[in-house]
Copies of this chain bind each other. A is one copy, B any other.
Amino acid sequence: MHHPEKVSHDGIVQVALEIIGRVRHRSPRVHCITNTVAQNFTANALLALGCAPSMTLSPGEIGPFVTGAQGLLVNLGTFDDERREAIGIAVEAAAKQRLPWVLDPVFVDRAPPRAAFARELIGRRPAVIRLNHIEFSELAGDAPSRDAAMAFARNNRVVVALSGATDLVTDGKRVVSIANGHPLMTKVTAMGCVASALVAACLTAEPDALHATVAAAVTMGVAGELAAEKSIGPGSFAVAIIDALHNLGGPTLTARAKVS
């Protein structure tokens, strides 16, 4: 039986603030292998946080792109043979320069080849896997719960970010819950893909992958809350969350963070 370590609320929010501050200051290059549905929204979210995104998927040139980047996201949405090849090259380039990377196994429950490929990628040691409950069940072979997420994190030596009404982040020892966010986030496509890209951004500025993941999740959740206050539906919400990511300052993040 594993008892999760306690994490101080104030401490972890302060750390999150500092991580976001470093991201904005350093303007890291974040390369995203992501689906074509999510590309534009993801690039704009990364720019709003001060990053320099790139998105090429060509196997012939993705190696140099990743080598020149500080962060990497691997998202499986709308993938094909060429993308699979590109992912292989990108992950190898990341491993060579010890670049921590994020895996987002989108729709892994829908098609067996996708699940098999995701399992193979987990063996290649991402720093963080960010996924929803259905995707977790498919990959972990277990119902989503705090204990199951901790076990999955330990077995795969990875930080797990299990998204939901409350996000749960664990490295197998520590567990953090983030209760920020808004229901409209489920009504805009690629919102989860964007959240995973923000994890990749935060990993460029923080070696502790759990802290980086929490920083991204709090930022995304608070931006969602701010956006909801200025929106009348999912169209205006998608616009407002980019504004919020751009304008979000430390005091607002501190005041609104619901981390435990």
Partner-B contacts on A (CB < 8 A): 35-41, 43-44, 47-48, 53-61, 63-65, 68, 77-82, 107, 110-114, 187-190, 231-236, 238-247
Contact = CB atoms under 8 A, between A and B. Distances in A.
Given A40-B41, A60-B81, A48 B112 contact: no
5 contacts: A38-B40, A48-B235, A64-B110, A232-B243, A233-B245
Nearest to A50: B187
In the complex, the 7 A-B pairs of residues with the closest C-beta atoms, listed nearest first: A235-B242, A233-B243, A43-B189, A61-B111, A58-B80, A233-B246, A64-B111
B57 A80 contact: yes
Nearest to A235: B242
Contact of A56 (B65, B77, B188): B77
Contact of A239 (B114, B236, B241): B236
A2 B38 CA distance: 47
B246 A240 contact: no
Given A232-B243, A233-B245, 9 more contacts: A40-B40, A48-B235, A57-B80, A58-B81, A60-B81, A61-B110, A234-B242, A236-B239, A239-B239
Contacts of A65: 107, 110-111
A37 B39 contact: yes
A75 to B, nearest CB: 12
Contacts of A239: 235-236, 238-239
Copies of this protein, total = 3
A236 B239 CA distance: 6
A36 B82 CA distance: 15
A34 to B, nearest CB: 10
A204 to B, nearest CB: 17
B233 A242 contact: yes
B44 A238 contact: yes
A246 B55 contact: no
A58 B44 contact: no
Contact of A82 (B80, B111, B233, B240): B80
Contacts of A190: 40, 43
Given A39-B36, A56-B77, A44 B234 contact: yes
B112 A64 contact: yes
Contact of A55 (B37, B63, B232): B37
Contacts of A56: 35, 77-79, 107, 111
